[in-house]
Structure 1
Amino acid sequence: MSDPVHRDRRRKGRYSSSSAAAASAPPPVPPRLPAPAVDRTGPAILLMCATAFIFAVQDGFSKVLGSEYPPVLVVMIRYWVFALFVTALVSRQPGGLARAIRTRRPLTQIARGVILVLESLLIVEAFVRLGLVETHAVFTSYPLLVAALSGPVLGEKVGWRRWTAIAIGFVGILVILQPGGGVMQIEALLPFAAALMFALYGLLTRHVSRDDPSIVSFFWTGIAGAGGITLIGIWHWQWLAPVDWIWMAALCACGMTSHYLMIRAYELAEASALQPFAYTQLVWVSIIGVAVFAEELRPNVVTGAAIVVGAGLFTLWRARIRTAG
């Protein structure tokens, strides 16, 4: 038998060796936690503000060219370049052109493209007749029209709060128009009709998004729009003066850049978070209209535009609350 002293030494030896092994072993690896979600709303807002500025500059070029040539010609050339841009862009996406052409709602996609190009035509005509400031003051009503038409077009429920905001917004439009004075009512129908078409385009875009991805809708917007405007604009063809081709190139460059930045912005953040910042275009348009084209910034236009923008922001906020709920 081993004596108690030896047994105690062996026991201590085993304890010390196990303790040393535990001390030399690598520490346990904690479970890998998922990386925290990166909030990219800030960069998206900056992109949207940049987009609004470029859109305002683009509108200035449209006014310059629309004053010298038929607006339908200006829009047609711009859409030719836009169609080439869209085609090149979707060709680099997964599936390429073959995927972009496939749509489950071809008639609706064509209607979207035609409606948007007609809206572009009306807005350029309004720039020439009314100026940038008053055209955009009326055009800012389109979010209100989206809210009003979302019921009959998409079957969405519009509550009394949003209906109240819509009514207040249209009061703002009356302040802008000053019935009996200020903007001529017939001419004011141009930006209002353009806002109506843009609202309908937006609702149809939401409708087709249930079946088609955004890249398909983007492709059809450019192709259908270019085809539709060519049927009308080709009969008004005339060569531009050499210097005016520079203005046209700047217009097309602004169009491609603004659409690309807008796509990037919507990839980084939700549309409901970005849409309020699209109203900054009204600020830039007012600056360009007054500084470059010597337009008058009348008090009723400023007041009415503030009412319309405020009502539009409220409808966007209510729509966001309803979606979140």
Structure 2
Amino acid sequence: MQNNTKLGIMLMIATTFVFAVQDGISQHLARQYNVLMIVMVRYWFFAAFVITIAIRQSGSVRAAAATQQPVLQIFRGALLALEICVMVTAFVALGLVESHAIFACYPLLIAALSGPVLGEAVGWRRWAAIGIGFIGVLVILQPGFAIFAPAAVVPLAAALMFALYGLLTRYAARKASTATSFFWTGTVGAVIMTGIGLWFWEPMGRADWIWMATLCVTGASGHWLLIKTYEVAEASAVQPFAYLQLVFASTIGLLIFGETLRWNVALGGAIVVGAGLFTLWRARKKEVA
């Protein structure tokens, strides 16, 4: 693996921008069509992309699929597919700005759950940051106020699901290669979503099929950029820049979808991101030590 941090940062910024565009297109389509159908079609293209990558890296589909943890890999793939459905639902209910502000707490959830799930030690400083981060989430949610939207718990549920997916991916990595886990992620998700999504099929207009094709391309492009990012730089060095997806997605929500940025969302989002960056910094410092 190369160790080009500058290139890795540039690739991570490009990755977050592409994923933000993907989220905007997902919101546009999900306002008109069933979320399950949209995610299903997206996964068909994703699975084809994953299989292509698997053949290129492992030599064959059988080699890429070889695993000692089939149940874990299936659960991971299903969990991510369902998380995407939940998050796209949040985009429709709350918009990109608020959904991403709440979803940004997932690194804090990973840090909090890394102890019981992976047996990793979490020091008091990171626990303090986790606590402060969740104060930020409460600022966004404003529980007890008349303007509190119950739908705000939807992106929080998505963040919890994605955090668990991330932890299980790290656990699987102890016995499986990245190519193997990536293969199972795409193929299992496609099978799960096909089994569910076909029941909710709706005819789409020609223009929306163009948007659907663009969504599929952005999904594959984003994952390809992410793979390249981790090939050229250490994850700990580029991970803080993943928060730019919140910035890009919020900009799309404000400029294209006419969303508003409420003061509590801005303040709470800043607290969550700040706490998340601190936990990433502490984790990296511990690795170096």
Provide the TM-score with structure 2 as the length reference.
0.97
C-alpha distance in 2 between matches for 1:300 and 1:255: 31
Aligned to 2:176: 212
C-alpha distance in 2 between matches for 1:39 and 1:92: 23
Aligned to 2:129: 165
Once the two structures are superposed, the pairs formed by residues 8-157 of structure 1 within 5 Å of their partners are 39-157=3-121
C-alpha distance in 2 between matches for 1:181 and 1:61: 31
The code of the aligned residue for 1:263 comes to I
Aligned to 1:307: 271
Deviation at 1:38, TM superposition (A): 6.7
Contact 2:30–2:92, Cα closer than 8 Å, also in 1:
yes
1:86-129 deviation digits (Å, cap 9, x = unpaired): 11111112332121010110100001100100110000000000
C-alpha distance in 2 between matches for 1:237 and 1:292: 27
Contact 2:69–2:172, Cα closer than 8 Å, also in 1:
yes
1:232-276 deviation digits (Å, cap 9, x = unpaired): 111111221111100100100100101000000000111111110
C-alpha distance in 1 between matches for 2:267 and 2:39: 31
1:185-239 deviation digits (Å, cap 9, x = unpaired): x201110010001000100000010111100000000001111112211111122
The code of the aligned residue for 2:194 comes to T
SS at match of 2:244: helix
The code of the aligned residue for 1:230 comes to T
Aligned to 1:263: 227
Deviation at 1:181, TM superposition (A): 3.9
| Aligned positions, number | 288
Question: Structure 1 runs of 4+ off > 6 angstroms?
Answer: none
Q: Percent identity at matched positions? A: 57
Aligned to 1:240: 204
SS at match of 2:72: helix
C-alpha distance in 1 between matches for 2:199 and 2:165: 26
Contact 1:130–1:183, Cα closer than 8 Å, also in 2:
no
Provide the TM-score with structure 1 as the length reference.
0.87
Highest CA radius of gyration, 1 or 2?
Answer: 1
Query: Which structure 1 residue ranges, 5 or more long, are not aligned?
Result: 1-36
- Give the 3 Å change call, closer, same or farther, for CA 95–144 of structure 1 in structure 2: same
C-alpha distance in 1 between matches for 2:142 and 2:156: 15
Q: Which has the higher contact order (CA 8 A, sep 6+)?
A: 2
Aligned-residue Cα RMSD (Å) equals: 1.2
Aligned to 1:9: none
Deviation at 1:286, TM superposition (A): 1.3
